[in-house]
Amino acid sequence: MRREEFLDNEIDLPEGNYLDTSELVLNMGPQHPSTHGVLRVVLKLDGERVRDVECVIGYLHRGVEKIAENRTYGMFVPYVDRMDYVAAVSNGLGYCLAIEKLISVQAPPRAQAVRVMLTELNRIASHLLWLGTHAIDLGAISPLMYCMREREEILKIFEQYCGARLTTHAFRIGGLQYELYDGFETQVTRFLSNFRKQVNDWHDLLTGNPIWAGRLQGVGVLTAEDCEAFAVSGPLIRASGVAWDLRKAQPYSGYEQYDFEIPVGERGDSFDRYLVRMEEMQQSAHIIEQAVSQIPSGAIMAKVPKVLKPAPGEVYVSIEAPKGELGYYVVSDGSTIPYRVRVRPPSFLNLQALKKMAIGALVADVVAIIGTIDIVLGEVDR
């Protein structure tokens, strides 16, 4: 029975029939490997089909926004790395840009180029982790090994640059703390040339694979209207056919200088999201290649007062993080401590659309859909 028929037809059997079905409530998670962390999904099942979905979140809530109200502007920068910990560099970039907007400072061109390179490397690392874990959810074991091997190269670059692999604290308000190390360019170039070949190999491994296509095609469809209604952003809205990328729509940190394209899907299903992310990795590699060949010289830090006291006011600044639109709404009251920092987490809003995608699907498809949303619970719960 197709999904549409299932949704239209109520099961109509005489009462007391031994074929009577009853609704089964199935609890998935929070300790379930395919929920990518501590997500609990309560499924109402009719046989193998999902009637209703409820997400229970908050197991990883650490009160990041409350902590921000007790730290100075500079002290809070490392905390944002702990939200989306697989894309810590993007978190830091968004926060630094928001505070820079608040104090009307712009990072120097060299700092902007380094920021773009590291952020795009982080985007590749985030998508690699997504691809590996998504594939292993669906039963394909080997892509995880390949993805982790490439991701390791990126983490080594981070480690050489700032000493940390995951929660990098790479950027500071106003620019960068560290100069690039000797041999950064050659290491990045060597990684990229190898990486682009690898992505083509993965296409051979997965894209043409009938099992892979069968598990993803037509599963978890989101139309463009659904995406707008649920404020879904990032690769999900692009897979639904909306060519919207904040790096193009509202460029920041010098993204307007680079030549890249926005990959767009047609059907909005899980397979399109997979293809969009695969192409985004190639486009990120393309951006890094351009940036690494022409890193401007000069200072890496703008003139920022040692004690930051932004004038009373509020700004909302958002960037295109690997998961979608990551926004910071910062309110200053003129003191050294932010009055309020609100994080607009992309995973949180993307996860809200799970209900829309999963109703009518099979239980096994729910695993595929959760994987294709690419959630990080550290960011959903904050």
Query: Given the rule CB under 8 A, which residues bind another protein?
Result: 56-59, 61, 63, 65-67, 69-70, 101-102, 104, 228-231, 242, 244, 249-250, 311-316, 318, 325, 327, 329, 331, 333-335, 337, 339-340, 342, 344, 348-349, 352, 381-382
Nearer Cβ to another protein (143/265) = 265
Measured CA distances, 324 to 127, 244, 348 (Å): 12, 10, 10
CB of 264 to another protein, least distance (A): 13
Residue 349 CB contacts under 8 Å (≥ 6 apart), including other chains: 230, 231, 232, 233, 324
CB of 316 to another protein, least distance (A): 6
Nearer Cβ to another protein (98/128) = 98
CB of 55 to another protein, least distance (A): 9
**By C-alpha distance, which of 210, 211, 242, 215 is closest to 226?**
242
The sheet carrying 24-28 orders its strands as 24-28, 40-46, 49-56
Nearer Cβ to another protein (85/329) = 329
Both tokens assigned to 340: 């309020």
Cα–chain-centroid distance for residue 312?
31
Bridge partners of 47? Answer: none
Nearer Cβ to another protein (54/261) = 54
Q: How far apart are CA 43 and CA 26, in angstroms?
A: 5
Nearer Cβ to another protein (33/63) = 63
Nearer Cβ to another protein (200/250) = 250
CB of 130 to another protein, least distance (A): 22
CB atoms within 10 A of CB 176: 23
CB of 198 to another protein, least distance (A): 34
Cα–chain-centroid distance for residue 166?
15
CB of 150 to another protein, least distance (A): 33
Q: How far apart are CA 310 and CA 68, in angstroms?
A: 15
